[in-house]
Amino acid sequence: MLKFPPFKTIATMISSPYSSFLLPRKSSFPPMPSLAAASVFLHPLSSAAMGDSSMDAVQRRLMFDDECILVDENDKVVGHDTKYNCHLMEKIEKGNMLHRAFSVFLFNSKYELLLQQRSATKVTFPLVWTNTCCSHPLYRESELIDENALGVRNAAQRKLLDELGIPGADVPVDEFTPLGRILYKAASDGKWGEHELDYLLFMVRDVGLDPNPDEVKDVKYVNREELKELVRKADAGEEGVKLSPWFKLIVDNFLFQWWDRLHKGTLTEAIDMKTIHKLT
């Protein structure tokens, strides 16, 4: 297993499994001088959320409070924007908005892969099956650390707690193995989509699970043959099975070769953090 130098984790910073929406950002707007002038100083949530009244309240809060890290195609940080703006296909297409992301592949001691089915209330790709945890490092100090992908690994530990209730002690940050990066774009529907530079992280740990229903509908461990059958059903459109586009790209291009190396104890030989694979 790849080892990284000692570091401080974010575990002590989290006071709740759902801290990302319990810690609102301070408004940058000036005080409203009068009710008549109030419309000039609307918070972004006020106007945009009115057009998304059907959006689940928890997901809406996350969409506006979480700030994703904007990068160029060489993974250099160029700014930040709300999760809402980063996932609007109109802005993705017109502004080529690309944000940093991660995909965790968590295996148990039998080398079975933990999958999750995204909740029905997710704004993008609801109810699809995907890898263990897929999310974004946020524009905050602890998740902007580029050295050894520490910021991304900190974010992965945070989201494994948020989504699956996995304690930080069960997924030590220095036991994530960053294997590579992919760049892809995918539409969820006519309005939403993804344009991500995605870090792929492996870990082998037996963990406790307490899935958050706001994020996750179902979970299951699969072996190689069971995953192949799930992929077959998704490709054939059977039983309503759908896979997330990033997961399918990773399955088609890397996963089974890396799974073989995991069994053989040669996973570190597959590490390539210099190449950014542009996949379609």
**pLDDT digits over 262-272, tens only?**
999 999 999 99
| Number of domains within the chain | 1
Look at residue 255 and tell me if it is in a domain.
Answer: yes
pLDDT for position 54: 65
**pLDDT digits over 20-43, tens only?**
333 333 333 334 333 333 333 333
Q: Which regions in the chain score pLDDT beneath 70?
A: 1-54, 58, 62
Residue 109: which region, alpha, beta or left (left: phi > 0; alpha: psi -120 to 50)? Answer: alpha
Out of 143, 175, 196, 215, which one is annotated catalytic?
196
Look at residue 242 and tell me if it is in a domain.
Answer: yes
- Amino acid letter, residue 194: E
Look at residue 39 and tell me if it is in a domain.
Answer: no
- DSSP of 191-231, one letter per residue? SBEEEEEEEEEEEE--------TTTEEEEEEE-HHHHHHHH
Contact between residue 129 and residue 230 where contact means Cβ atoms under 8 Å apart: yes
Look at residue 11 and tell me if it is in a domain.
Answer: no
Look at residue 20 and tell me if it is in a domain.
Answer: no
**pLDDT digits over 219-240, tens only?**
999 999 999 999 999 999 999 9
Q: Is 141 an active-site residue?
A: no
pLDDT for position 41: 31
- Amino acid letter, residue 142: S
Q: Which CATH number do you get for residue 96?
A: 3.90.79.10
Alpha-carbon distances, residue 267 vs 87, 130, 246 (angstroms): 33, 21, 21
Look at residue 27 and tell me if it is in a domain.
Answer: no
- The whole model's pTM is what? 0.80
Look at residue 9 and tell me if it is in a domain.
Answer: no
pLDDT for position 31: 42
pLDDT for position 65: 77
Structural domain harbouring 217: 58-278
Out of 86, 134, 143, 194, which one is annotated catalytic?
134
Q: Is 196 an active-site residue?
A: yes
Look at residue 37 and tell me if it is in a domain.
Answer: no
Q: Return phi, psi of residue 95, to 5°.
A: -105, 0
| Alpha helices (runs of H) in 78-211, residue ranges in sequence order | 83-86, 89-95, 150-164
pLDDT for position 240: 95
Kindly report the average pLDDT of the chain as a whole number.
84
Residue 222: beta bridge partners?
113
